[in-house]
Amino acid sequence: MKITKDYRFIGKATPRKDAAEIVTGKATYIEDVELPRMLHGKVLRSPYPHGLIKKIDTSRAENSRGVRAVLTYKNVPEWKTGTPRHVRVLDKKVKFVGDAVALVAAETEEMAMDALAHIEVEYEQLPAVYDVEQAIKSDAPQLYDEFPGNLMPLDVPVFGPRTLSSIVLGDVEKGFGASDFIAEGTGSYENIANPLPLEPPGVIAEWSGPNSLTVWSATQSASWHRFIMLSKMGFPDIRTISTQCGGSFGSKNYSAQPMFYAAALAKSTDRPVKVCFSKEEHFGAFVLRLGSRFRGKVGIKKDGTVMAVQGEWLVDTGAFSDMAQAQIAVGLGELQLMLKCANWDINTKLVCTNRNASGVVRGFGGQELESALIPILMQTLEQGNIDPVEFFKKNYVKPGQGYYWRDGNHWVSKSKDYTEAFERGAQTFGWAEKWKGWLKPSAVNNSKRVGVGVGVHGNADVGEDVSEAYVRLNPDATVTIHACVAESGMGQRSSLCKMVAETLKLPLERVNITPPDSLINPFDFGLVGSRGTYAVGSAVISAAEDAKEKLFKMAEDVLEAAPDDLDSEDGMVFVKGSPDKGVPWRSVIGLMHTCTGFGRFEPDYSVPNFIAMFVEVEVDVETGKLDLLRVVTATDVGQIIDPPSLAGQLHGSIGSAGIDTAIFEESVLDGNSGHMLNLNMMDYKWRSFAELPRFDNTILETPIQTHRYKAIGVGEVSTSPGPSAVFMAASNAVGKRLEGYPLTPDKILEALGKINL
Amino acid sequence: MKAFKHITANSVEEAIALIRTHNGKACLIAGGTDLLGVLKDEILPDYPAAVINIKTIPELDHIKKNNDGLKIGPLTKLADVVAHPLIKKRFSCLSQAAAAVATPEIRNMATLGGNLCQDTRCWYYRYPQHVGGRIMCHRKGKGPCQAVKGDNRYHAIMGAKVCFAVCPSDTAIALSALDAELEITGSQGVRNVSLNEFFTTLGNILKPDELLTNIQIPYPPKGAKQAFLKFTLRKPVDFAIASVASVITMQDGICKAARIVLGAVAPTPVRATDAEASIIGKAADGVVIEEAAEAAMAGAKPMRMNAYKVEITKTLIKRALLSIFQ
Amino acid sequence: MADRTDQRRDSIVLIVNDVTHEFGIGDHRYQVAACDTLAKTLRETLGLSGTKVGCNQGACGSCTVLLDGIPILSCMTLTVECDGKQITTIEGLQNKETGKLDEIQQAFIDHSAFQCGFCTPGIIMASRALLNKNPSPTETDIKDALSGHFCRCISHYQVVEALQTITEKKKK
Ligand SMILES: Cc1cc2nc3c(=O)[nH]c(=O)nc-3n(C[C@@H](O)[C@@H](O)[C@H](O)COP(=O)(O)OP(=O)(O)OC[C@H]3O[C@@H](n4cnc5c(N)ncnc54)[C@H](O)[C@@H]3O)c2cc1C
Ligand code: SF4
Ligand code: FES
Ligand code: FES
């Protein structure tokens, strides 16, 4: 059923509302914001991976030119972030190279930098640990007194009292007993890659009273930013404003560290303070992906039925946990969506180590878990000679089937069947012709071996968390959406305007949305997961419907007709069927009045979305170089809202620490000194225009009944199946089981027996 | 960036005089694409008091034909080297090497002289001051080489003893294969050195008050064929993991003369003399090529993490020779 | 205090988007220090914040502006070395009289050739330089010309498409 053609805007490419600002350079990002009397904050960072500050002398820095404040662990506010709360603004103990030691606010950035050089610190160095399994040994250096064994608590109720931290179901022994093929081993996805939005993180903070803080930041979720910082900062009155955000991919949801620094410095100077990280700091002291190691066992039957999954998931969060428990919960849920299985026994350990911390990154747990586990799963498919496309088609969760989601509750899918989408994707890709069996290249040209791989990923986050919105009808037949939605690249602010314009049958240019400011908007959890279209969209649409209902109620007397018999188009209200006898909104609403509707979306975890990704790679067996030739995504979005924005979300699977974490993306940590060695955009590898794979999206539009426009999003799922699909393709290309990510030439040449490491 | 004074030099003599008056506390800036990175990150304990701009010296930016070959001024932009028709035709490996540097914008700014004189890219050496402090090492005059026990995936596989950083310059490899000669001018006068004499294990032979003032490239023998191959993880931006430049003269199917130079394998460009010897006088075939690659790498002593570079370099040598022989 | 002057002159002239600016060299707010990059001068001293600084390391292309028509990285350029030069930034592409957008800006709007938009000014400037030099570039020419531009959102496909429609329109 295709209904796109009946819509004015939905499903059609319309220019982004902020397009002109972006292409003319007028869009205002955090670095572009200048406030009167604003100071600049800079951070002195630790040279050691682990140590205690024995002595810190700031007197010279305080007297340095232009300096207005110097803060150390001795005089910062008692705020705490982390999950559970365990990370102070500054601490006496440093836990990674680059950890914050002191803060300076000065009239200019240069003056702040100059002052940093005048802070004298004496440290007592402590031994450090970088590997998860080393860290949990009894004699390992301890990062926190409160977390013995470097084990972070998993029973933090991030998603309520039953928050998922393990999957124990059925009887795995029985399951293995009934399996035809069993594989056991360790898979690791430990690139600790950086989502690396182009714009580094930044925050400006200003106190307008002792308890009243305004924060401008590059974030993708302004009201959540407020919500989450409230409890971290002892519940001051916080107003958060999102500037245009130069990319986030989860990482800038709330920038706790820069926010703490700016707010602390602003407090002690009583002036606005801007803290924008440099790219080096962005690499060395901001959000990374979780490290993920899975040690375990998978059993399947000849027909591809998964009989048992058992193992230990070791999650490395670096120097502190920032929502790692939440990612574990979601990751375990996502694994069950990808793999139906009756018998599970997966336990998790969350471990802290002496490196820059992990945080929120697109993929959110599931990408990390699956990328580590799939190499083991692949071996069972190899033993059984099972086509992975058939396997994934068979094993993802279909409507009517169940899974435990992040809240620990059992949910039954009310989503749709994605099998057709996957099959279409396979067709577009030419899977049937290219698939030659496990560890077999699909083509050989001299030293070049071509291989194919596939991955499937599901997520029940399209309906996660709460969204609220007001839609205000103005007498001049314009509409203002009040929703706390930031723009970090998804085009959602524009898409919401489209949904409202469609609902109210108004020209798109008559619909606008308020700035992402927590003071003027109701609550919205923000653009996390894939919830923008479904959750935020539903709230905004129902606010529009509510406003329309009110409008018709008001028009009852004017038009002498029951509200149900009324319709509105282009700012006129009329009796259905007689658009020529309408009255303008202003006659109904009144010139000095407005008409406002309210909408709310309540969480619902019963609508998982899925994506399949097919990849073709080429490996040069003489150099070990891996090239990505082709990507085909396959999904079903119910109804496309804006084709270019959707394409962008899917193409984005290459960036933001997605597909390329199987090819060349990684943060390189020096195992002796704890330094992050590739803190620059030469040594940290990213994909350029010169090496783009052919990229096709196969998108079905099977209406999803629970959304007004039958639509759901895909932003979060798009990156996740990529790394393991490439891993599979590369293994098939070279005819060898490979090991680890990213598959750089050294790893491939080693697997081929050409070098001994 | 931390403050410095900026001075514009209008002639070579003036530049030298300026360096001298600043007693080693001054440095030269050409395109600035390397130097500004070094200064922004404050990777060295010494920070210059003055930066002397040499882009304003008119006689250093030129590409001139003369009887012996081609004279290129060190201030010539890499983009101009790439676009020059004669370089493309007669010195193609230089043209290819220059085109393989960095990105289009950088090639519009970067100079050939700066490319030869650029500082090393060892990631310990380049660690920024502002994320916990610069890392000291042998090359900076304090402490051991960090790469020996550390992550040495990009470091030297031969010819290194104290500092294992590799020569980052792509054009140096091509210029060495082309047997280029460099003219150096200092307060003591002018001296000429071959390209390979220019590079040392810890950088180059320039004295503090010396400038690179000319690059002279002889015409390769008639009928000589050239190749430049660079291996990187990605086409743009990346420095070489390994590179090969070769200039080979064939006569009646027999190799008469050969220069094969390897890049990113050692602190300096490395002439693979054993490989050259192994092909001279021979007709090209698969076995000869194989032997040449093995000979070139016979002395390789990879570090803990970079044995793959040996394999890759071998492959590049083979491919370079194959492209020439075919 | 460190010396931030230029020994040879006490002022410089920049012609930015056809407007001539004269700056004293020094450390005051409206002066240019010897160590100031062009990116800093454009953004902070002239308030032309459309030029973005992504890496400040010469490796992402987001700070690209045209210097005498040639695309260069403003984060790796000293302002004092631009004396007398013509500089074009993203703010200078629109037609001054009519306000009409440059054809590339328009094509980027029509194709939504951006996501977060942080890389966009740099990419547009490099594209402008490409089309000035070569009005009908091939797909490979476009990709090569933009190969130094990082876009983490992966807008590459839409950027290439936008630029191709401009060249196709011209062919007609
Ligand atoms: C993102 C990025 C990628 C890069 N990729 C590559 C690459 O792939 N391959 C590669 O080879 N390089 C690469 N580079 C390094 C690049 O900076 C050099 O290639 C460039 O050619 C340096 O030239 P420049 O004129 O900008 O040098 P500058 O930065 O001006 O100078 C570099 C050094 O040389 C000295 N110097 C310059 N000219 C002279 C002279 N005539 N006499 C004496 N000393 C002089 C300067 O004092 C300075 O110490 C890359 C750089 C960046 C930022
Ligand atoms: S390789 Fe050279 S530059 Fe790098 S750490 Fe060792 S001594 Fe220093
Ligand atoms: S900001 Fe100049 S190249 Fe990245
Ligand atoms: S659009 Fe976000 S970096 Fe290019």
Query: Ligand 3: residues within 6 Å at CB?
Result: C 53-63, 73, 75
Q: What percent of chain A has pLDDT over 70?
A: 99
- Mean pLDDT (chain A) is 96
Residue B209 has pLDDT above 80, yes or no: yes
Report yes or no: A239 and A518 within 8 Å, Cβ to Cβ: yes
Ligand 2 pocket test: pick from B44, B118, B120 the residue with the most ligand atoms within 8 Å of its Cβ.
B120
- Residue A4's pLDDT is 47
Q: Are A411 and A459 in contact (CB under 8 A)?
A: no
Distance from CA of A421 to the nearest CA of C (A): 23
Instruction: Find tokens 């160590």 and name the residue.
Output: C35
Q: Which ipTM value was assigned to this complex? A: 0.97
- C53/A23 Cβ within 8 A: no
Give the integer Cα–Cα distance in Å for C74 and B109. 10
CATH topology (fold) of A33-126+198-247+252-284: Aldehyde Oxidoreductase; domain 3 (3.90.1170)
Any C CB within 8 A of B106 CB: yes
State both tokens at A421.
């989408």
Q: Write the pLDDT tens digit of every residue in A629-646.
A: 999 999 999 999 999 999
User: Tens of pLDDT along A116-159?
Assistant: 999 999 999 999 999 999 999 999 999 999 999 999 999 999 99
Q: Cβ–Cβ contacts within 10 Å for residue C100, how many?
A: 11
Q: Is residue C97 part of a domain?
A: no
State the pLDDT at residue A2: 44
Residue nearest to atom 4 of ligand 4 (CA): C151
Q: Are residues C74 and C118 in the same domain?
A: no
In a domain, C98, yes or no: no
Banded pLDDT at B154 (limits 50, 70, 90): very high
Evaluate: CB of C165 within 6 angstroms of ligand 4: no
Q: Which of residues 75-104 of C touch A (CB under 8 A)?
A: 89-91, 93-94, 101
Considering the domain architecture, whether residues C108 and C73 belong to the same structural domain is answered as no
The dihedral built from the CA positions of residue A361, A367, A368 and A369, taken in this order, carries a sign that is: positive
Cross-chain residue pair A624–B133, CB shorter than 8 Å: no
B236 contacts in chain A (CB < 8 Å): 688, 690
pLDDT of residue C7: 63
**pLDDT of A318 strictly over 90:** yes
Residue C35 sits at the chain B interface (C-beta within 8 Å):
yes
Which of A623, A679, A757 faces B312 most closely, judged by CB atoms? A623
What count of other Cβ atoms lies within 10 Å of the Cβ of residue A577?
Answer: 9
The tens digit of pLDDT for each residue in C50-105 reads 999 999 999 999 999 999 999 999 999 999 999 999 999 999 999 999 999 999 99
Q: What percent of chain B has pLDDT over 70?
A: 100
C-beta separation of B90 from B220 below 8 A: yes
* Dist CA C171 CA C165 (whole Å): 10
Residues with CB under 6 A from ligand 2: B 120, 122, 124-125, 137-139, 145-147, 155, 163-165
Return d(Cα A120, Cα A117) in angstroms, integer. Answer: 8
Shortest Cα–Cα distance, A674 to chain C (Å): 23
Task: Quote the CA–CA distance of A452 and A441 in Å, as a whole number.
Answer: 8
Average pLDDT for residues A668-676, to the nearest whole number?
A: 97
Helices (H), A288-439: 324-338, 366-384, 388-395, 419-429, 431-434
**Within this chain, do residues C86 and C112 fall inside the same structural domain, yes or no?**
no
Residues 634-663 of chain A with CB under 8 A from chain C are 642, 644-645, 647-648, 651-656
| Dihedral angle computed from the Cα positions of residues C149, C152, C153 and C157, in that order, rounded to the nearest 10 degrees | 40
Domains in chain A: boundaries: 19-28+465-601, 33-126+198-247+252-284, 291-462+605-751
Question: C109 and C67, same structural domain?
Answer: no
Same domain, C87 and C109: no
State how far the Cα of A660 lies from the Cα of A719, in Å rounded to an integer.
Answer: 10
Q: What is the pLDDT of residues A560-570, one digit of tens each?
A: 999 999 999 99
What is the domain-level CATH number for residue C141?
1.10.150.120
Say yes or no to pLDDT of A712 above 90: no
Chain segment B67-94, per-residue pLDDT in tens: 989 999 999 999 999 999 999 999 999 9
Pair A246, A656: CB distance under 8 Å: no
Between the CA of C123 and the centroid of ligand 4 the distance, in Å, is: 10
Asked if A296 contacts A310 with a C-beta cutoff of 8 angstroms, the reply is: yes
Q: Which atom of ligand 3 is nearest to the CA of C64?
A: 2
Predicted local confidence at residue A5, as pLDDT: 58
Nearest CA distance, C76 vs chain B (angstrom): 6
Determine the pLDDT at residue C171.
78
Report whether B184 contacts B192 (CB < 8 A).
yes
The CATH code of the domain at A291-462+605-751 is: 3.30.365.10
Task: Report which bound ligand comes closest to the CA of C40.
Answer: 3
Sheet holding B50-53, edge to edge: B5-8, B50-53, B26-29
Phi, psi torsion values for B146, nearest 5 degrees = -75, -20
Q: Is the distance from CB of C52 to CB of A246 less than 8 angstroms?
A: yes
Tell how far the Cα of A749 is from the centroid of ligand 2, in angstroms. Answer: 26
Q: Dig out the tokens for A596 from the structure.
A: 């406002």
Comparing alpha-carbon positions, the chain A residue that sits nearest to B238 is A682
Q: Does residue A745 contact residue B308 with C-beta atoms inside 8 Å?
A: yes
Phi/psi zone of residue A734: left (φ > 0), alpha (ψ -120 to 50 degrees), beta? alpha
Locate tokens 């490439």: which residue? Answer: A726
C11 & C85 share domain:
yes
Residue A757 has pLDDT above 80, yes or no: no
Least CB–CB distance from C72: residue in B2, B7, B108: B108
With a cut of 60, say whether residue A334 has pLDDT above it. yes
Q: Is residue C65 within 8 Å of residue C42, measured between CB atoms?
A: yes
- The atom number, within ligand 3, closest to the CA of C55 reads 4
Residue C26 lies in a domain: yes
Are C113 and C134 contained in the same domain? yes
Say which CATH topology domain A19-28+465-601 has: Aldehyde Oxidoreductase; domain 4 (3.30.365)
Question: pLDDT tens digits, residue range B302-311?
Answer: 999 999 999 9
B146 alpha carbon – ligand 2 mean position (Å): 6
Contact (CB<8Å) B5/C81: no
Q: Is the pLDDT of residue C4 over 80?
A: no
Measured in degrees and rounded to the nearest 5, phi and psi for residue C66 equal: -100, 130
Q: Which atom of ligand 4 is nearest to the CA of C117?
A: 1
Number of other CB atoms surrounding residue B87 within 10 Å: 22
Q: Are residues C66 and C124 in the same domain?
A: no
Interface contact flag, C8 B36, Cβ < 8 Å? no
Spell out the residues 6+ positions from residue A380 whose beta carbon is closer than 8 angstroms to its own.
A179, A181, A182, A183, A298, A299, A300, A386
CB contact under 8 A, B104 and C56: no
Give the pLDDT score at A224. Answer: 87
First-to-last alpha carbon distance for chain C, in angstroms, is: 62
Report the percent of chain A where pLDDT is more than 90: 93
Last residue of a domain, one of C36, C62, C92: C92
* Beta-bridge partners for A686: none
Tokens 């931390």, residue located? B2
C26 touches chain B (CB under 8 A): no
- Cα A267 from chain centroid (whole Å): 31
Q: Is A41 helix (H, G, I), strand (E, B) or coil?
A: strand
**Structural domain count, chain C:** 2
Alpha-carbon dihedral sign for residues B309, B311, B314, B320: negative
Token representation of residue A341: 């299985």
- Nearest ligand 2 atom to the CA of B164 is 1
At A221, is the pLDDT very low, low, confident or very high (cuts 50, 70, 90)? confident
Chain A nearest-CA residue for B153: A746
Type and span of the H or E element at B227: strand B224-231
Q: Which of C37, C68, C92 is the last residue of a domain?
A: C92
SS3 B247: strand
Q: Which residues does B51 contact at the CB level (< 8 Å), separation at least 6? A: B4, B5, B6, B7, B26, B27, B28, B29, B35, B39, C34, C78
Six-digit token pair at B322? 């194959």
Beta pairing class for A694-700 and A625-636:
parallel
- Fold match, A33-126+198-247+252-284 / A291-462+605-751: no
What is the DSSP code string of A570-624? TTEEEETT-GGG-EEHHHHH-TT--EEEEEEE-------EEEEEEEEEEEETTTT
The neighbouring-strand residues paired with C67 are: C70, C87
DSSP symbols for chain C: -----BTT-SEEEEEETTEEEEEEBSSSTTSB-TT-BHHHIIIIIS--TTS--S-SSSSS-TTEEEETTEEEEGGGSBGGGGTT-EEE-GGG-S-TTT-PPPHHHHHHHHTT--SS-SSHHHHHHHHHHHHHH-SS--HHHHHHHTTT---TT--HHHHHHHHHHHHHHHH-
User: Could you tell me if C25 and C59 lie in one domain?
Assistant: yes
Instruction: Report the separation in Å between the CA atom of B132 and the middle of ligand 2, taken as the mean of its atom positions.
Output: 18
Residue C62 CA, ligand 4 centroid: distance in Å: 10
- Residue C134 domain-assigned? yes
Q: State how far Cα A466 lies from the chain centre.
A: 17
A485, A492 in Cβ contact below 8 A? yes
pLDDT tens, position by position, A612-623: 999 999 999 999
The residues, any chain, with a CB within 8 Å of residue B83's CB and separated by 6 or more, are none
To test the contact with chain C by mutation, choose from A22, A276, A632 the residue with the greatest count of C C-beta atoms within 10 A, namely: A22
| Contact A745/B at CB under 8 A | yes
Model confidence, pTM: 0.97
The span from the CA of B154 to the CA of A67, in Å, is 41
How many residues are given for chain A? 757
Tell me if the bond preceding A742 is cis, omega within 30° of 0: yes
Task: Extract the tokens encoding B199.
Answer: 């590079």
Q: Is the pLDDT at A513 greater than 70, yes or no? A: yes
Q: How many degrees, rounded to 5, is the angle at CA A754 between CA A752 and CA A755?
A: 115
Containing structural domain, residue C116: 103-171
The pLDDT score that the predictor gives to residue A1 is 39
Cβ atoms A478, A512 nearer than 8 A: yes
**Listed residues C51, C66, C92: the one ending a domain:** C92
Chain B positions touching C59 (Cβ under 8 A) are: 103, 237
Mean pLDDT to the nearest integer, B270-288: 94
* Residues C84 and C112 reside in one and the same domain: no
Query: Which tokens go with C166?
Result: 């401009």
Checking DSSP bridges between strand B242-251 and strand B254-263, what pairing results, if any?
antiparallel
Q: How far is CA A14 from CA A19, A481, A516, B239, C112, in A?
A: 10, 18, 21, 41, 8
Mean pLDDT in residue range B150-175 = 98
CATH number at residue C62: 3.10.20.30
Nearest to B257 by CA among B209, B324, B311: B324
| pLDDT at site A54 | 98
**Separation of CA B306 and ligand 3 centre (Å):** 30
Residue of B nearest to A94 (CA): B132
